[in-house]
Amino acid sequence: MNIAVLGTGMVGEAIASRLVELGHQVRMGSRSADNEKAQAWIAKAGSGASTGTFADAIVFGEVIFLATKGESSLDVLGAAGAEAVAGKTVIDVSNPLEFSSNGLPTLAISNTDSLGEQLQRRYPEARIVKSLNTMWCGLMVNPNLVAGGDHEVFVSGNDAEAKEQTKTLLRQFGWQDAHILDLGDISTARGTEMLLPLWLRVWQSTGVGAFNFKIAR
């Protein structure tokens, strides 16, 4: 499958690298076609890897992973025009974090709205699915790094087919069906985005990012 990964940070690189390992054709998108991080990634990722602008990657991808900073996600997804994402599954991994002068993160959007919902409203023909935004990027693509994979990944979205497509990719990453928790429509992204300040504070307190949340029933 042709997959676009928008973003050259740790999250984008982890997802893009794993997708190439799984045999997908992956194009990493960034603001410029000669982005240094993207070029460094392609040099080590293998023959299934390519790079381009955000617009190039969006047109290329049958599925799009949105792994940019939350403050830019809305504009990045429209880099090739709204028609370029129409009908495509967009897996939104971004979070609307902003940092105060003391460095403590807060949410620019919360309670009555979410970044996932704003993306769906701005691009109504795209099929937005919020997932993987509640954990360290290493666990996103290899859940077995912690507790043998006995922890949860959440899925939110309005389109059932897009959620199933997302779940298929999650299974390829190593997620077990018992730990893929479908929360419902895209409004449930409010909950997973609001989990991020807690995640960051646990990380700051323990100094360990390789952890995740488990639903004990």
When pLDDT is averaged across residues 84-94 and rounded to a whole number, the result is 98
Provide CATH code, domain 2-206: 3.40.50.720
Domain boundary assignment for the chain: 2-206
pTM (2 d.p.): 0.96
> Torsion angle of alpha carbons 200, 110, 122, 129, nearest 10°?
50
Taking only the tens place, the pLDDT of each residue in 14-47 is: 999 999 999 999 999 999 989 999 999 999 998 9
Taking only the tens place, the pLDDT of each residue in 104-139 is: 788 999 999 999 999 999 999 999 999 999 999 999
Taking only the tens place, the pLDDT of each residue in 57-83 is: 999 999 999 999 999 999 999 999 999
> Residue 56 has what pLDDT?
97
pLDDT class of 88 with cuts at 50, 70, 90: very high
pLDDT class of 101 with cuts at 50, 70, 90: low
147 CB-near residues (< 8 Å, 6+ apart): 212, 214
